């Protein structure tokens, strides 16, 4: 794949054009796109006309809203472009990019499940937390911020939420004036 075939989201003009023409979906549009690709649930033969898809969890919807969905290969940042890191779908990189024959929802579910396993390994009490806290932990693990912050994880294990929040924001990307407002706001949630 050549660079001219890869969308560069660090380029404002390209990003805006992708939003305009539907290659880059944000918020509820991204959630709806993924929901429409979710696997079908088993149903009775009498209900064949009523297609029922596996529902997304609230945590999955949150991550999709925050990440957005890009329907073509893209570079998320100038740094990733320089490194040649190609992303697709809901922030899917490396082994999580869609495999041949796999749609974006299937790739997302595979990535989300793997990252939720990672969240459980990083935060042993993960399954005992309320769904909202689990969602925020998953957002941090999905982006990669939380797994790169051992001090934050230690404060979480100690249930010291004020220090965990403070430490989480003591992050090079958060302090960088070039980091987008949207990423900073996501980290603050």
- pTM greater than 0.75 (yes/no): yes
Query: Which pLDDT score is estimated for 177?
Result: 75
Is it the case that residue 125 has pLDDT exceeding 70?
yes
What band does 3 get if pLDDT is binned at 50, 70 and 90?
confident
The candidate with the shortest Cα–Cα distance to 116, out of 135, 101, 90, is 135
What band does 186 get if pLDDT is binned at 50, 70 and 90?
low
DSSP 176: -
Burial of 37 (0-12, 13-18, 19+ CB in 10 A): middle
Read off the tokens for 3. Answer: 């660079």
Label residue 89 left, alpha or beta by phi (over 0 means left) and psi (-120 to 50 means alpha).
left
Rounding to the nearest 10 degrees, give the CA dihedral for residues 9, 10, 13, 18. Answer: 10
Contact of 107 with 41, CB cutoff 8 Å:
no
Tens of pLDDT, residues 69-111: 999 999 998 989 999 999 999 999 999 999 999 999 999 999 9
């Amino acid at each position: 794949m050549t660079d001219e075939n890869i969308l560069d989201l660090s380029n404002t003009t390209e990003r805006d054009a992708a939003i305009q023409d539907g290659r880059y979906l944000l918020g509820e549009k991204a959630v709806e796109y993924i929901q429409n690709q979710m696997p079908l649930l088993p149903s009775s033969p009498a209900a064949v006309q009523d297609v029922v898809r596996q529902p997304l969890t609230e945590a999955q919807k949150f991550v999709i809203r925050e990440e957005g969905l890009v329907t073509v290969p893209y570079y998320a940042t100038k740094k990733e472009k320089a490194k040649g890191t190609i992303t697709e779908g809901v922030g899917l990189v490396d082994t999580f990019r869609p495999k041949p024959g796999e749609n974006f929802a299937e790739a997302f579910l595979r990535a989300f499940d793997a990252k939720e396993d990672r969240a459980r390994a990083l935060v042993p009490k993960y399954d005992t937390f309320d769904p909202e806290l689990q969602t925020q932990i998953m957002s941090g693990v999905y982006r990669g911020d939380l797994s790169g912050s051992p001090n934050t994880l230690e404060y979480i294990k100690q249930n010291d939420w004020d220090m965990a929040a403070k430490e989480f924001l003591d992050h090079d990307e958060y302090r960088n004036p070039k980091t987008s407002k949207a990423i900073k706001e996501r980290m603050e949630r």
